[in-house]
Structure formats: C-alpha cells, structure tokens
Structure 1
C-alpha cells in the first residue's frame, strides 16, 4: 500500500504539460480565446482486496453525450464546488456512491482539454477502505475497476483512428478485457503512465 502511494506521489511531483484530445492530431488548429469549462475527474486507486486497481464507469447508453463510453467518475465544476477537486469528489459520490471522506487525495495532474470544450483536471486519490459502489442509474451503467499496473504500462496503449467531422482523428486506447477504454480517459491514463514509467 505504502509503495503504491509513494509511486503515485512521485509521479505527481514530476513536471508535465497539459494534454488534449488533439495531441495526436497536430494539424488541428484550435480557436484562440476559446472558453473552456472547468471539470474534475477522480482517478481513484483502490488499495484493498489485492493489487491496486483504478475505478472506472461505463456511461449509460441513454446519455446524450458519450453514451456507453468508459470514463472516470467526475464532471463539470458547479458554482457550489470550491475547486475541481471538490467537483470530482462530489461527482464520484453522486455517480458511484463513493463517500467523499473516503478518498485520500494525493494531488492533481495537469489539465486535459476535451473536444467538448472542457478543461478537465485529473485528481489522483487512493481508497484504502472497501465500499460498495452504487451506480447512479441515469448516468452510469456499470462501475468496474482495472489493475493500476495495466493502465500505467505504456506498452498497453494503442493508437487508433476514426473519421470525425470529416477528418481522420487519432487517439489513445488501452483495452482491458471487455472494456474499450479510449479518448480522453485513455489520454489521461497515458499521461499518468508516462509519469510512472
């Protein structure tokens, strides 16, 4: 447990740049002066029940945005949230039933710009007390976890592409079993993997 916390703290202490959904598409020209909405996601690493794992969600297929995609618990920062960390913790409670006092927040990674106009701050935390996840039925179809070792090994990441708004867009994926982890979630995990390598 202490080794994992030490490794995560060391990773967070390393310097690094922000990332974006356009990292693998250098020809993309983003408009100057664009307004990005702040958001926070929780990279929650569980330290109970064996090897450390990262909690993830499969979004409801009924959602308008990103239906069925794999995501961290989290969302946009509301007026009542004192910070993006507070937003990430609140959203994790709402989406997966994670009590806000359970995660031990270790720090934040540099932000990530999404194609949907958010500036997302990944908040890294550890959870050493077991809890029973409860998926919020309107947003979350499933709560699951993947081994931290799998998503922090750069060799497990693949670059794939698809047509998006008439252009070919490249992005990271880090598949695990039946779960196709891609896009912003995979990109933020790839940033963590680079820091832990």
Structure 2
C-alpha cells in the first residue's frame, strides 16, 4: 500500500549512489519463526526482560559517551506497525527531495526532539502527526529500542507503536514525498539484508545495510533499526545468532586487529 505525494520540482540525492556500491559477504543469520512476526508476540516481548545485543557491526553507534554524543542533536522516530489481513506491515516515508538531511531517503516518521516535547516518545508522536497526519489516539505504544548515533549527528531513539484501525494518512508535502508499507516478514528476513561498502574520496571506508523492496531501497540508519528489531525478536525467541554477525573474514573490510574499518552508519 502506498500513498504518493506530488514530486517537488528539484531533487537532492546522496553524494554517492548507495544502490551500486560493492557488496560485502556477511554472516548468515537464522530466519525468525512465523510466530515472532505476530503483533501479540511483539507486544509480549516488550513486556518482559530480553537479553539481547544491538547489531554487532555497528555497536559503536549505540555506545554513549565521547564528543560526538555531547554535540549530537536529540531525535526520535516512530516504527509504525500496521495489522493487515496478510500479516503485519511497517509504514515508511520517503523524504522530500529538497530536504537538507537525508533527502529522498526512506525513513520512519520522526524528527528532532523539541524543548516542548516530553521526551522521545512525545516527539515521535508529534512528528508522526505533523509528517503524515496520524493522530496520537491512533497510536498504541509498544516500547522503545536503543538510541542510535547517526553520521549526520543525531541521537535517534526508535519508538515502536501499532497504528490502530481508522487511522488516516495526510502527508505534509513539504517533508514527505510518499508514504508506503512493507510486510514485516520481508523486512525481518535476514536473507534480504545486504551489506554494502563505500570508499570515500579521502580513502575512508563506510559500510551500511540495505533492504531492497520493489522500487524502494531501505538503507543506512533505517536499515540498522530494522536489523536491531530482528536481533531483539531473535533473542526473545531464544534463537542462536552468531556473536559476530557482521562481515565475514575479508581483509579488505578490516582495519587494525581485525576491527571493522568503517565509521558509523
């Protein structure tokens, strides 16, 4: 399901094309059992302690401390789950092409935490209403996930919530080019997660996960939050996931002492 907005007159893109960068071999992960993709299971998992770890390849982006954290801007996003007859879906936005940050990219509704917001949950709900017109009364909160430090200097807190029947999409055309849904089973299928590598003109490497779906290319911070959601549900189910579920043994992808030579996503 997609709600497409009129295209703006201009279009900004990333300084490189994320879809054509080299692919790195990565450790295969086990598939989640179908019951993990049910709304009742997800609700229950958030109501009990789950011993889990964030995506290992980007663990440093979730470790607080240092000057990058002190200077970062606080932000929050809503990961909206939508129950459809065919199963759970996740709602995304495609950002307008003229925006300064992440123009044209796929993201969750959200944005900067304002001084008037009572924390990340309130900010995620406010931004969701402002961006796509979904009122607070149509969002059933489920829980939060670890805060991610992005390369653009945002400390992004993901808030997981269910969109209740009767919600209506009315996107802000100044910020959102399209609103669409992707089946949760597609997003949490680790066989669809592709690890890319990009080399900058300065010789610094960067890697990122991507999840292609139809005409959409979900990558970067959004893909990492999805990857984290996989790890959380896998741990809740008791699945054995490799501790180093990142790059396979590839000297071209490693720095000193075998550490991944890539900055944050």
Q: Which residue of 1 aligns with 2:216?
A: 179
Matched, 1:5 2:59: no
Give the distance between the partners of 2:232 and 2:44, measured in 1 at CA.
Answer: 8
User: Structure 1 unaligned runs (5+)?
Assistant: none
User: Structure 2 unaligned runs (5+)?
Assistant: 1-36, 235-265
SS of the aligned residue for 2:111 comes to strand
Give the distance between the partners of 2:118 and 2:154, measured in 1 at CA.
Answer: 17
Give the distance between the partners of 1:39 and 1:19, measured in 2 at CA.
Answer: 20
Q: 1:161 to 1:40 in 2, by over 3 A?
A: same
Give the distance between the partners of 1:99 and 1:72, measured in 2 at CA.
Answer: 16
CA drift at 1:25: 8.8
SS of the aligned residue for 1:86 comes to helix
Matched, 1:45 2:81: yes
Q: CA RMSD in A?
A: 2.4
TM-score when scaled to structure 1?
0.87
After superposition, give the CA deviation of every residue in 1:103-141 in whole Å (9 maximum; x if it has no partner): 100110111110111111110011131323112111100
1:19-168 → structure 2 map (5 Å cutoff): 23=58, 32-34=66-68, 35=70, 36-164=72-200, 166=202, 167-168=204-205
SS of the aligned residue for 1:175 comes to strand
CA drift at 1:9: 2.9
Give the distance between the partners of 1:91 and 1:60, measured in 2 at CA.
Answer: 15
Are the counterparts in 2 of residues 48 and 129 from structure 1 also a CA contact under 8 Å? no
SS of the aligned residue for 2:136 comes to coil
Deviation >4 Å, runs of 4+: 17-20
Are the counterparts in 2 of residues 24 and 170 from structure 1 also a CA contact under 8 Å? no
Structure of larger gyration radius: 2
Q: Which residue of 2 aligns with 1:195?
A: 232
After superposition, give the CA deviation of every residue in 1:31-71 in whole Å (9 maximum; x if it has no partner): 93332222110000001453211000000011121110000
